[in-house]
Amino acid sequence: MEELVFMRHGHALGTREAGVCCDSERPLSPRGEEEVLESARHLKAAGFSPGLIISSPFLRAARTAELAASVFTSARRQTAPALSEGPAQAVLDLAEAAPKGSLLVVGHQPLLGAVAGFCADLPPVDLAPAGFARLLRGAAREEASLLEVYDPAEKGLPR
């Protein structure tokens, strides 16, 4: 069973709070790191096992992918600027070009939610920080059905 998961990066510090000048340099907060690990563990418990994790190169998304990779130790990693810059078609092309098997895509809202909704023929999916949309790929890779939308804050982690 091939699954496609679109995960939003975890809660991140603001530029001033983090002492950085660029949005791309914003790090995850400690809460964001906890939420990412909660989401990755939830996926693993559900049987999800990606062969590849693709992330935006922005620091908060790259760290989210790194934390997910600590749970999915056999997954390869790569970054793709399209996950921070778009357009949506470029994200769809990334998923289409990925090797056969399950795929974890880490990036930003509203882009990922729009792509997840499009793949499942639904409206855009509202992804919480470190939340994800898990889809089952259909016969054609652009056809998918939504299996789950997950928000780690609903597991009792503080917001």
Superfamily of segment(s) 3-155: Phosphoglycerate mutase-like (3.40.50.1240)
Q: What is the pLDDT of residue 158?
A: 47
**41 pLDDT more than 50:** yes
* Average pLDDT along the chain: 93
Instruction: Retrieve residue 74's tokens.
Output: 């056999």
Q: Please give the DSSP secondary-structure letter assigned to residue 28.
A: B
**139 pLDDT more than 70:** no
Domain boundaries, the chain: 3-155
